[in-house]
Amino acid sequence: MRLLCCLLCACAWQAQAGARELVVVVSAKSPVMALQARQVADIFLAEAARYPGGGEAVALDQKLGSAARNEFYSKVAGRAPEQMKAHWTKMMFTGRGQPPREAAGSAAVRRMVAADPALIGYIDRAALNASVRVVLVVK
């Protein structure tokens, strides 16, 4: 029994150690240094179009249905995929906003964000390089 408990704990630890960590990034050329989760959520929900310093903020999503996208919205905005669908349906119907443009994955998001200081996206920490700056660690 004790061996079984040890094996289960070891497996749980290993799964947690290999878990993805999402980070929110902007271009290394951007003046934005850090953001709070609420500020990021507002940008991605089209409730804010500017960074706190006044610069234009343009959200860039990962593909619809991707694990990274679902995790991001769950943790940062507190919304499930169905709630996000309802949000965008309402925003588009009322003319108050459009969903963010999509990119194929972390590497594509990183490349696009690095090239445009207005863009903000989320990627796996493993995809980081010097072309982008982390402004929020998704928890």
Buried b (16+ CB within 10 A) or exposed e, 86-115: ebbeebeeeeeeebbeebeebebbbebbbe
Q: Over 60: is that where the pLDDT of 7 sits?
A: no
Residue 1 pLDDT grade (very low, low, confident, very high; cuts 50, 70, 90): low
* CATH code assigned at 60: 3.40.190.10
- Is 3 domain-assigned? no
Number of folded domains in the chain? 1
Q: 87-94 contacts: CB < 8 A, separation 24 or more?
A: 87/45, 91/46
Q: What pLDDT, on a 0 to 100 scale, did the predictor assign at position 20?
A: 85
- Is 2 domain-assigned? no
Contact 106, 124 (CB under 8 A): yes
Mean pLDDT of 122-135: 98
- Arithmetic mean of pLDDT over the chain: 90
- Is 4 domain-assigned? no
For residue 78, the enclosing domain spans 21-137
DSSP H helical ranges for the chain: 2-17, 37-44, 67-72, 81-93, 106-115
Residue 106: CB partners within 8 Å, gap ≥ 6?
Answer: 62, 68, 123, 124, 126, 127
Which of 16-20, 98-102, 113-117 is the least confident region?
Answer: 16-20
Residue 17 pLDDT grade (very low, low, confident, very high; cuts 50, 70, 90): very low
Backbone angles phi, psi at 91, to 5 degrees: -60, -45
Residue 2 pLDDT grade (very low, low, confident, very high; cuts 50, 70, 90): low
- Is 111 domain-assigned? yes
Residue 126 pLDDT grade (very low, low, confident, very high; cuts 50, 70, 90): very high
- Is 112 domain-assigned? yes
